[in-house]
Structure 1
């Protein structure tokens, strides 16, 4: 299967898990998946086809015209122009994939999340460290809600430093591919290599599946050093 299709399938699986756990309405069509939250997260879209139908494009255009608090459209194929009532800003982020290969065992203790308390720690790290301003202050709403604990294919991980939760990440596994999301270190613990240790544990856990992710600029060097290669430059429209 095409690597970009693998990554897209996993991105859609991520929102099929996260959207309902947050209480969002989902709309899924052959060409896109949309998660709808009129209060906080707004309209979140993943384009899932290089050739969306005219019907899909018309529905997506109608969705963009609604009054959302924010809009975010992930378009790895570069095929959908934004049509919202206000200008949207484009950014480019690499979509990456890694085939299974040996890695060192992590030197730090990695906690595989099992409890709501642990998942709440993941939520705090993601909201404050990523950061996610529309979920701040922390506790006003869950970005990584407790319902994910019982979602098939979802896993989350934590690292503690001196008894304090310091870094976190999550994965979604579906069929023949896994995806990595929300890899985050709180600002006061950065520079200690925690993200690398977390990725050692996660990638060893996911072996032998191919693993995909979309890399933020500060983390691209780390992911390349772990064996990830870029398969596309996705356009993200936001506003």
Structure 2
């Protein structure tokens, strides 16, 4: 009986992580490849170092703070091999965030520190949701001045102390325009108080860089900006890596925890 479910000898059996497999083989695969695109796109557009291979992708924008530089593992290979390749292909001795969609062994011997196991959350496009309302005016970023506002809110509101005091173009620059990412800022008059970004890749929307200044907390600014990014491509699912504080907000927007990923930091 057991042999009746075995495939013919020599048949190729997909694991879901082959390089030539369609991105839509699974929602998790779509999320992995979309995050890999997020990791490389800004650096590639800005003429900064980047790499995109079968096993991992990464892009380095600067030497201050791990969120400036991302490495995303695309296949369930040994992270130690990826760490060695990162050192060969991208600038050495700079901090980076290493996102791995699987549990890992201890990587401290490679100079990394464990940041946690945040959940990948997913929202389907047909989920019925009451859009959150805020008193901020939400504007899509269309020029460099607004882009600097978005970056300031991200650095000061998230916050990212490694990038303070604020200097523009550490994370965003004009090459962002025309690419797969769209940025919004929530304003109170002319004062920028909240931001979020949608990145479109592999048939899924990645919601990133959600941040709210203290003056906007309690005004549903984070939920409203997240909703704007989530529904920017209304016919496709949206995914995000959630912080502990953000999870209740995302759940109210009909996001669901799919699985936990692993985040290591090279300080």
Q: Same fold (TM over 0.5)?
A: yes
One of 193, 209, 213 as aligned partner of 2:236: 209
Structure 1 residues 191, 19: CA separation in 2 closer, same or farther (over 3 Å shift)? same
User: The residue matched to 1:18 in structure 2 has which SS?
Assistant: helix
Aligned: 1:142 with 2:182 = no
Alignment counterpart, residue 142 of structure 2, candidates 97, 110, 114: 114
The equivalent of 1:192 in structure 2 is 219
Q: Is 1:166 the equivalent of 2:189? A: no
For 1:175-199, what per-residue CA distance to the aligned partner results, in whole angstroms no more than 9, with x for missing partners?
Answer: 4111100011012221211111222
Aligned residues: 235
Q: CA deviation at 1:140?
A: 5.9
- Corresponding position of 1:74: 99
Q: 2:75 aligns with which of 29, 49, 54?
A: 49
Corresponding position of 2:3? none
CA shift at 1:60, angstroms?
Answer: 2.7
Give the TM-score taking structure 1 as reference length: 0.86
Deviation beyond 4 Å, 4+ runs, structure 1: 64-67
Contact 1:181 1:213 in 2 (8 A): yes
Candidates 54, 78, 94, aligned match of 1:30: 54
Question: Bigger radius of gyration, 1 or 2?
Answer: 2
Q: CA separation in 1, counterparts of 2:251 and 2:102? A: 22
Instruction: Write the deviation string for residues 154-185 of structure 1: whole angstroms up to 9, x where unpaired.
Output: 11111112431110010111241111000110
**Structure 2: distance between partners of 1:80 and 1:61:** 16
Q: Which has the higher strand share?
A: 1
Q: Find out whether 1:58 has 2:86 as its counterpart.
A: no
Gaps of 5+ in 2: 1-24
d(CA) in 2 for partners of 1:203 and 1:37? Answer: 25
Deviation at 1:216, TM superposition (A): 1.0
Cα root mean square deviation, aligned = 2.5
For structure 1, the 5+ residue unaligned runs are: none
